[in-house]
Structure 1
């Protein structure tokens, strides 16, 4: 028995921790039950690499840039440069993530799809995430560092990033593609800095933009947001020890390890449907471990509170509610002021999934109807069968979404 033990333990350690032996990806959900021996499973180096390593492996060129916002945050941007490009595209990520989501589909990654189509690709990052932990005077261990919502991300981060990209490319206008919170922050930017947006952005694509989130949206998610929102009387939103998804704490590391090695991936997918909506398309089995790896970037509770305020106001897309007294000081009104979406002059293309529980179709219709006719000249796209995550990991994401965005961009280029 002792001899068997001495042989088995080193073998199991090798299976889990030796890249040449470890298989971390399977082509079917069932194969994850037999991942170490199934011929349907293989080792994918992207899962163990950083964003620059992934870009280098599949494209071969990349740049890293740093931008300072007007309120002192230092943001990291990644670029996949193109010589004589058709145009320039700036991608902004969602909540709890960072720029890695755009290169997390291996060789078929969204960023690579547009780069191979001839575009100069820039990947944005927002304050507080894995790549943006610096400020000119604040430290991530200080409460003041985390005192922000998607308002500051739109007003400061998007503005600073877009203006920087514009300067780097010689003043040309760019295409902005924002997913989920990246779409919401894009709407904040385009409505509060409408003149800057007109000068710098030729088209704004917002996918599952999470702006007009009413009581008929969000499915199970609104009940989970309810919990931290009602703790705010006990724990301050600015407490740096109460930031969600801190990557450096032991329980997040353990949770990610267990999720990666959990065999019943289909079970995880069905649980996620409670939050994101049922998907007819379904998340590609090969991508599920990468999905686990790149989701989980830090966010302050104030963002959660801001989103929940949108839900309980039945979809009013407005600034953060500080309470009547503070609102009077900041906004001059007892209630927080709404974002002037009707003032947006940049052309906006709205994309959403018919099965999305987080950003449901009624919310997108409300957003579309709020915008002026001049800003909706390129219309909208509802993707049948898509839930919230299918825009990143759905089997037909390029065919049903990104190829259609390319068609719009090609039409714009022909007219210029």
Structure 2
């Protein structure tokens, strides 16, 4: 036991007291075992910087905007502006992260790729995350502040963000790109505010949107959600308004520190694979410490429970189930109604990974089959070998996903120009 303790101390001391300008990223997983001396390792300033510092370093121009939702939350939007852009694009992030996910791939970041391709880029944030702790009357320490699921994010947050971006860009129709939770809330917005979305959204790209995930999906998360959901009323952490990931909590900071300095990064990946699906050597080693850093935003269990209810209903994309009595008051029925996907009037491009077991391919095929025919005119994209997290940190994310989205957008822009030309002549 003493020998184990001594080895642990010898391992941790140089990490704790190492100079801040020392290596924090490696181009190989093996390099992390000897990070301060390996030729595969280097210092990347992005890992220790904030979002505006990262954008400034790689692009040199940025803006910060604040928008208020109809139910009183204040959201922070980041903009990478472009003069005479090809179009306007709004990115909406996945669970337990924030707008930083789009600029967390260093110089090859997704947001920078679209900006360099000529787009006016906006990075959205949802209520409660690191950048959105303000409300007109509630404090983020109050349970009432956290009384929301992805329904409120779609209905209120996306509505406020889209309308604000549209106003700031002189009425431009927006390309909406939503990843995981961002895709779920995008489908809520497009189906419940269908007329507004048709006026404001040029195309909606939903990547692994987790709208119809059923029991056939094999990810570990559904079992943990099942246990937690059935513990409601017994233990405090199972309360729907219990907040996961208090970012300033000592245990979150401790876990982030330990994971950042943990040498066997492959072990972290194998744990992620249990939840998100296997993807052999696709996750870029350079990005793993940044991945750890940006995945710590708060959110209530109510969002997870809403997802679990979709699991429990075997893939029915429906509103939150409050129980028969309250459902009758809210919905006029004992059962929560499905979201009216048949009302969607905007083009939807569904993207999913063939190896994703959190939001498995058959769930996305189900979503695609329920969309109106006029919304699927651009087809869909299945990415071979991709799991749920490869869309942010996969080695081939740009090649297999984002460059193809850019090609599709160029095709749509060309078609629009041809239509305008024919109308003028």
TM-score class normalised by the smaller sequence: over 0.9
Give the equivalent residue in structure 1 for 2:139: 139
Give the equivalent residue in structure 2 for 1:18: 19
State whether residues 208 and 359 of structure 1, in contact with CA within 8 Å, keep that contact through their aligned partners in structure 2: yes
Q: Shift of residue 234 of structure 1?
A: 2.6
Q: Shift of residue 228 of structure 1?
A: 2.0
Distance 1:379 1:402, change over 3 A: same
Counterpart-to-counterpart distance in 2, 1:188 and 1:24: 39
Counterpart-to-counterpart distance in 2, 1:281 and 1:351: 21
State whether residues 229 and 238 of structure 2, in contact with CA within 8 Å, keep that contact through their aligned partners in structure 1: no
- Residues 327-347 of structure 1, C-alpha deviations (whole Å, 9 max, x = no match): 000000000011000110100
Give the equivalent residue in structure 2 for 1:96: 96
State whether residues 348 and 375 of structure 1, in contact with CA within 8 Å, keep that contact through their aligned partners in structure 2: yes
1:186 equivalenced with 2:183 (yes/no): no
Counterpart-to-counterpart distance in 2, 1:90 and 1:382: 22
State whether residues 63 and 79 of structure 1, in contact with CA within 8 Å, keep that contact through their aligned partners in structure 2: yes
State whether residues 162 and 200 of structure 1, in contact with CA within 8 Å, keep that contact through their aligned partners in structure 2: yes
Equivalent residue of 1:228, what SS?
A: helix
Q: How does 1:232-271 map to 2 (within 5 A)?
A: 232-235=232-235, 242-271=242-271
1:152 equivalenced with 2:152 (yes/no): yes
Counterpart-to-counterpart distance in 1, 2:218 and 2:410: 34
Counterpart-to-counterpart distance in 1, 2:15 and 2:335: 60
Equivalent residue of 1:75, what SS?
A: strand
Equivalent residue of 1:70, what SS?
A: coil
Counterpart-to-counterpart distance in 2, 1:351 and 1:134: 33
- Residues 219-257 of structure 1, C-alpha deviations (whole Å, 9 max, x = no match): 211112123212222356896983111111111111110
Q: Shift of residue 14 of structure 1?
A: 8.0
Give the equivalent residue in structure 2 for 1:204: 204
Counterpart-to-counterpart distance in 2, 1:13 and 1:405: 44
Give the equivalent residue in structure 2 for 1:69: 69
Unaligned ranges ≥5, structure 2: 1-8, 417-425
Equivalent residue of 1:144, what SS?
A: helix
State whether residues 92 and 99 of structure 2, in contact with CA within 8 Å, keep that contact through their aligned partners in structure 1: yes
Give the equivalent residue in structure 1 for 2:222: 222
Unaligned ranges ≥5, structure 1: 1-7
1:130 equivalenced with 2:130 (yes/no): yes
Give the equivalent residue in structure 2 for 1:58: 58
Give the equivalent residue in structure 2 for 1:80: 80
Moved more, 213-222 or 293-302: 213-222
Q: TM-score, normalised by structure 2?
A: 0.93
The alignment's C-alpha RMSD in Å is: 1.7
Counterpart-to-counterpart distance in 2, 1:237 and 1:261: 28
Q: How does 1:13-412 map to 2 (within 5 A)?
A: 16-20=17-21, 22-235=22-235, 242-280=242-280, 282-412=282-412
Counterpart-to-counterpart distance in 2, 1:268 and 1:95: 18
Runs of 4+ in 1 over 3 A off after TM superposition: 11-17, 235-241
